[in-house]
Amino acid sequence: MEWDLPDQVKEADRDQEKDEATAGEWAEAGQPRGRGENASALPAEPQRLTRPASRVISLSVPSAGQVWRGSRGARSMVISIASGKGGTGKTSVAVSLALSLGTCQFFDCDVEEPNASLFLRPSITGKTSVSVLEPWIDESKCSHCGECSGICAYHAIAAFEKNVLLFPPLCHGCGGCILVCPEKAIAEGKRNIGVIEEGTSNSIAFIQGILNIGEHMATPVIKDMKRLIRKDMHVIIDSPPGTSCPVIESIKGSDFVLLVTEPTPFGLNDLKLAVDVVRELKIPFGVVINCDGIGDDRVKEYCQKGNIPLLLSIPWSREIAEAYSRGIPAVEARPDLKEIFRSLFQGITRITESKRDYDVQLGACR
Amino acid sequence: MKQLTVISGKGGTGKTTLTAAFAHLADNPVIADCDVDAADLHLILSPQLVKQEPFYGGQLAWVDKEQCSKCCLCEETCRFGAIHGFEVDNTSCEGCGVCAYICPEKAISMKERLSGYWFISDTKEGPMVHAHLGIAAENSGKLVSVVRQQAKDIAEKEKKNLVLIDGPPGIGCPVIASIGGVDMVLAVTEPTLSGLHDLKRILEVADHFNIRAVVCINKFDINQDNSRMIENYCEEKGIELIGKIPYDPSVTRAMINVLSVVEYPCGEVTSQVIRMWRKIEELLF
């Protein structure tokens, strides 16, 4: 079985080794740059969640020599693993990447159906409940003016002549009803919609969110989880499938999005949708094809035509599929794969660093 | 008229593959693709577009910079962190309208937000309602409700006896919108720990909303021990297991040939799916 790492990643690997001797400096071909004044133009907080939108949308894999070669490890990065289609192997890739990195923070943001804990088997050390704000009404003060139901965009509150009805699952907690109530009859309560669990699995700091059964909104849970993102280590985010709000909440603010797909018509269709989303969010991204060989070549052709970095192809293997079914990560079933995933990480580093560099140059031109 | 939704909790277990096959086997169905953020059913059913309608899923705030006095009240009041530097972040704005209400200069207005499109199409299996959620748009649950209402209207008008619904993965808002008020859900799972974990959660959701659920295991032979675990779980909960489908690479070939697994020879898969459909018909009608 051949694991197909595209040439650019293999090259990146070799360069990385070669460059170790000159670790700890910014270097760009023909234009060496120290950590002096130029370096201060670099984003001070690489992990900031609200990085200003970049003008760079698509990019090709950078040349060597534009990479931060830190002797104390590369800058920490937030990498999200996403896909339009479900069941393509997001969790599998995310877990394998995390295990290959060793030390990192792992976020299972698929709060509707979190599965990563089945593979990482963390010991859970803390639980925090997630609540959303929700109005409650003091009927004795209410004058039934109807202002509250007038402003509510979600039809979560309906005022009648004699009473007011609340529909808690529809409430987004915007606070509009409280603002408009002339009688100050509305106060804010809290409603639990899920829980965040924190724990560890070897040197991986594990965080997962779990949405309560019957709750509609996953985004508040994801938002709360992402407050726990640390800046001193790499962060892997396992995103839910699809392209709508929970996905956007999960991948927003990432330095890189890895889109996992399968080489089938469904996989291709949903990959295109996911690409539209990450382009809209202006986050650099690359593609991993999982179960390569089960379908056709149209995903590869699409990546080639669209100048999208295809970072890794994982062939379908019964061995890995069976290990997966028992909750065993691919890199544990096949330890030799750790190296492949480390190379994948190097490829990602290369792309994000070059983008950062490019942004700095753009900034200097403005 | 009956309504059946195919769901799974976990993605990629075979919902759409089965829905396409059922569409072929069913007598007189209206088909609804409710996986509006990653719709795939059209890739098998090749719909001919009859009607396209825009979907406005809520509103979006807009700041008129000429009138803005930069008081920052909007930014302070917004609970969604959607206003930065007097500009609205479209992906964060949930359209509540609080900023427009609070703005002393009346510089903020709420605009209808085009969040996607829904379609009515003809397919060889019957009329189909499907949709496309806009890029990074919200309110997929609301769009699902529109798709379902349209499908129901067609079924009533054309005297169809079944609305066949392809559901989204997960357990949140679009799933709840896809299963509300249906006669039965079919939960498709796979014999993996993830599959079982997610099956339990989706069955709890069905139970929470009092909807009858039946289960089928796809690729059951990938891990027979886990398949037995799922069977035992279903038995314990009194949920009927209506089918076990083996793994077969020809399922992907059927997809590539734009055919369902009952139109393309998929061996044991084909016969199992046909048997399962007969069972569903017995249970539904």
Each residue's pLDDT tens digit, B138-181: 778 999 999 999 999 999 999 999 999 999 999 999 999 999 99
**CATH at residue A186:** 3.30.70.20
In sequence order, what are the residues at sequence separation of 6 or more whose Cβ sits closer than 8 angstroms to the Cβ of residue A277? A243, A247, A248, A251, B135, B136
Which band of pLDDT confidence, cut at 50, 70 and 90, is reported for residue B72? very high
Residues A272 and A360 in one domain: yes
Q: Is A113 inside a domain boundary?
A: no
Residues A250, A292 within the same domain: yes
Q: Could you give the percent of chain B with pLDDT greater than 90?
A: 94
User: Which of B101, B192, B211, B221 has the highest number of chain A CBs within 10 A, making it the mutation to test binding with A?
Assistant: B192
Question: Which residues in chain A are closer than 8 Å to B256, comparing Cβ atoms?
Answer: 264-265, 295-296
Phi and psi torsions of B100, nearest 5°: -65, -35
Q: Report if residue A116 sits inside a domain.
A: no
Contact criterion met (CB < 8 Å) for A216 and B192: no
The number of folded domains in chain A is 2
**Amino acid present at A10:** K
Q: What is the pLDDT of residues B95-119, one digit of tens each?
A: 999 999 999 999 999 999 999 999 9
Flag if B226 and A326 touch (Cβ within 8 Å): yes
Q: State whether residue A276 sits within 8 Å of chain B by CB.
A: yes
Contacts of B72 (CB under 8 A, 6+ apart): none
Same domain, A137 and A48: no
Same domain, residue pair A241 and A98: yes
B47 in contact with chain A, both atoms CB, cutoff 8 A: no
Contact B108, B64 (CB under 8 A): yes
Are the beta carbons of B38 and A84 separated by less than 8 Å?
A: yes
Residue B247: pLDDT band (50, 70, 90) is: very high
Size of interface A-B (CB pairs under 8 A): 191
Asked, for residue A239, whether it belongs to a domain, the answer is yes
Contact A86 B102 (CB under 8 A): no
Residue A224 lies in a domain: no
Residue in chain A closest to B247 (alpha carbons) equals: A318
Supply B174's token pair: 């679009």
B255 interfacial to chain A (CB closer than 8 Å)? yes
Alpha carbon separation from A92 to A120, A238, A362, B47 (Å, rounded): 10, 9, 37, 34
Instruction: Specify the CATH number for the domain of residue A94.
Output: 3.40.50
Which SS3 state, helix, strand or coil, does residue A37 take? coil
Residue A39: what pLDDT?
Answer: 36
Here the tokens at position B206 are: 């069905």
Nearest one of A130, A127, A124 to A205, comparing CA atoms:
A124
Q: Which of A210, A244, A262 to mutate to test the interface with B (most CBs of B within 10 A)?
A: A244
Question: Is A87 part of the contact surface with chain B (CB cutoff 8 Å)?
Answer: yes
Report the pLDDT value the prediction gives residue A170, as an integer from 0 to 100: 83
Angstroms from A52 CA to nearest CA on chain B: 11
The whole-number pLDDT of residue A4 equals 55
* pLDDT bracket for residue B137 (50, 70, 90): confident
Q: Provide the token pair at B264.
A: 């393309």
The ipTM of this complex is 0.94
The rounded distance, in Å, linking the Cα atoms of A274 and A277 is: 5
Give the chain A residue whose CA is nearest to the CA of B210: A214
Structural domains in chain B, CATH included, are: 2-46+124-284 (3.40.50.300), 58-114 (3.30.70.20)
Question: How far separated are the first and last CA of chain B, in Å rounded?
Answer: 9
Does residue A250 sit within a domain?
A: yes
**Backbone phi, psi, residue A297, to 5°:** -100, 10
**Tokens encoding A312:** 């890794």
Mean pLDDT of B231-242: 97
Instruction: Determine the Cα–Cα distance for residues B65 and B86; give it in Å rounded to an integer.
Output: 8
Do A294 and A352 sit in the same domain of this protein? Answer: yes
Q: How many residues can be counted in chain A?
A: 366
**How close does chain A come to B283, measured CA to CA in Å?**
25
pLDDT at residue B258 in the model = 97
pLDDT of A360 reads 63
Q: Which domain holds residue A156?
A: 132-190
Handedness of CA A100, A251, A272, A279 (dihedral sign): negative
| A289 within a domain of the structure (yes/no) | yes
**Is residue B284 scored above 60 in pLDDT?**
yes
d(CA B18, CA B173): 23
| Cα B58 to Cα A117: distance, rounded to the nearest angstrom | 36
Q: Select the residue from A216, A245, A316, A319 to test the B interface by mutation, using most B Cβ atoms within 10 A.
A: A245
Work out the average pLDDT over B76-91: 92
| B32 pLDDT above the threshold of 60 | yes
Residues of chain B with Cβ-Cβ distance to A296 below 8 Å are: 256
Q: pLDDT at residue B77 above 50?
A: yes
Pair A240, A357 in one domain: yes
- Single out the residue of B271, B167, B106 nearest to residue A242, CA to CA: B167
Residue A108 lies in a domain: no
Q: How are beta strands A285-292 and A256-261 bridged, if at all?
A: parallel
Domain contains A89: yes
Q: What does each of the 366 residues of chain A score in pLDDT, given as a tens digit?
A: 445 555 544 454 444 444 433 333 333 333 333 333 333 333 333 333 233 333 222 223 333 333 333 333 457 999 999 999 999 999 999 999 999 999 999 999 999 999 999 999 999 999 999 999 889 899 899 999 999 999 999 999 998 888 899 988 888 899 999 999 999 999 988 999 999 999 999 999 999 999 999 998 999 999 999 999 999 999 999 999 999 999 999 999 999 999 999 999 999 999 999 999 999 999 999 999 999 999 999 999 999 999 999 999 999 998 999 999 999 999 999 999 999 999 999 999 999 988 777 666 555 544
Partner A contacted by B173 (CB < 8 A): yes
* Interior/surface letters B255-284, b for 16+ CB within 10 angstroms, e for the rest: bbeebbbbbbebeebbebbbebbeebbebb
Name every chain A residue with its beta carbon within 8 A of the beta carbon of B173. 216-218
Of A50, A281, A296, the CB nearest to B136: A281
B134 within 8 A of B116, measured Cβ to Cβ: yes
Contact of A49 with chain B, judged by CB distance below 8 Å, is answered with no
Pick from B160, B153, B151, B159: nearest CA to B130? B151
Shortest Cα distance, chain B CAs vs residue A156, angstroms: 11
HEC readout, A171-218? CCCCCHHHHHCCCCCEEEEEEEEEEEEEEEECCEEEEEEEECCCCCCC
**A179 interface with B at CB cutoff 8 Å:** yes
- With a cut of 50, say whether residue B30 has pLDDT above it: yes
> In this complex, is the C-beta atom of B175 within 8 Å of any C-beta atom belonging to chain A?
yes
